[in-house]
Amino acid sequence: MLIDYGWTDNRQRDFDFQSGYAPARVVEQQRGLYRVVAETGEYAAHVSGRLIYDAGPGALPAVGDWVALAPPAGDGAAIIHRVLPRASAFQRTDAAGKRETICANLDIALIFTALNGDFNPRRVERYLAVAREGGAAPVVVLTKADLCEELAARCARMESVAGGAPVLAISALTGAGLEQLAAHLPPRKTAALLGSSGVGKSTLVNVLAGAALMQTRAISGDEKRGRHTTTHRELILLPGGSLLLDSPGLRELSVAHAETGVSATFADVEALAASCRFSDCSHGGEPGCAITASLDSGELDAARWANYQKLQRELAYEERKEDHDAAAAHKQKWMKIAKGYRALKKRRERWDDD
């Protein structure tokens, strides 16, 4: 049973020192309650008091985690005593700065956005950065293709920001694109469905599972956004052997601690910046600025550049919270960038006058 849920020889070696416990995988989480799968069956489970006390940021069990479990005695609940090392994790930091693990041990991150009113390349860039930071291979899934009148253009636009990640357009209603999606879901591999509310994640789970496992609501009339119905996180074993993790949509997603993921997602932007004439270029109109030249020519999308700057500010803000010594350097940096921006704005105004 554990092999069906992704148990491997490497994980067995990680577990060998857990004397007295059984390996299990967390397959559902609702508030502080868990459902786990062990070799002997499924159990309701709680986290031990010691684990709650010792756990660092984001270290409490999440759906997808492999854990050391004390099976229940009689009709009681099982107890989770340890979380095994994670191969990957999708994490977020809330407004209070608390880090939370959304799901763990992912092989694939399916990043969903709808092709109707939800279509948002800037949000997808954010998800791509966090997924790559966590170690999962991203796949961008564009849903509700049957409602899109400019399908080719929107697919091309998303491919331009995906950084090499596959981009698939699908329709759960007509079945278009589902065969291509299935090719990214091999047996015993875990894929998380990530994205905002109402983009069709739960509908897709039901289609792939061949059963109404998740409650859904259709969009109606001229309503452009679906309505969110998933209220918990759950790992589902599909008939083909792959594992899908559905979870509530995220209203906000911070890129805190995702420096590597942001760099990977914006590798084209950083390559341009590295080719500027001056190493300390503020990209505000200095001679030989590759960013300015690319913006002027249209090679670099202004909205993509603005989003890259926004994510960099978020990263810098988190760094300053953790390292007060960086505050002064940050202030000087952004004073220089602001000065460069004003200079660039004046130059463009002169061009317009000419």
Cα–Cα distance, 8 to 10 (Å, whole number): 5
Q: Which residues contact 15 (CB under 8 A, 6 or more apart)?
A: 23, 66, 68, 84
Of the two residues 89 and 324, the one the predictor is more confident about is 89
Res 219: pLDDT? 40
* Residue 28: strand pairing partners: 35, 234
Planar angle of CA 7, 206, 44, nearest 5 degrees: 50
Q: For 265-280, what is the mean pLDDT?
A: 92
- The label of the residue with tokens 């990214």 reads 184
Res 353: pLDDT? 63
Cα distances (angstroms) measured from residue 8 to each of 2, 15, 188, 201: 9, 11, 10, 28
Q: For 317-338, what is the mean pLDDT?
A: 71
Of the two residues 53 and 250, the one the predictor is more confident about is 53
Q: Which residues contact 91 (CB under 8 A, 6 or more apart)?
A: 58, 99, 100, 101, 102, 130, 134, 257
- 222 pLDDT higher than 70: no
Chain mean pLDDT for the chain: 85
Structural domains of the chain, with CATH = 3-83 (2.40.50.140), 102-246 (3.40.50.300), 266-353 (no CATH)
Q: What percent of the chain has pLDDT over 70?
A: 86
Res 231: pLDDT? 58
Res 220: pLDDT? 40
* SS3 of the chain: helix, strand, coil, percent, to 5: 35, 20, 40
C-alpha 301, offset from chain centre: 23
* Pairing outcome for strands 66-70 and 78-83: antiparallel
CA-based R_g, the chain, Å: 23
- At 90-125, the pLDDT tens digits run 888 766 667 888 899 999 999 999 888 778 999 999
- At 154-190, the pLDDT tens digits run 999 999 999 999 999 999 888 899 999 999 999 999 9
* Pairing outcome for strands 190-195 and 108-114: parallel
Contact criterion met (CB below 8 Å) for 214 and 268: no
Res 271: pLDDT? 94
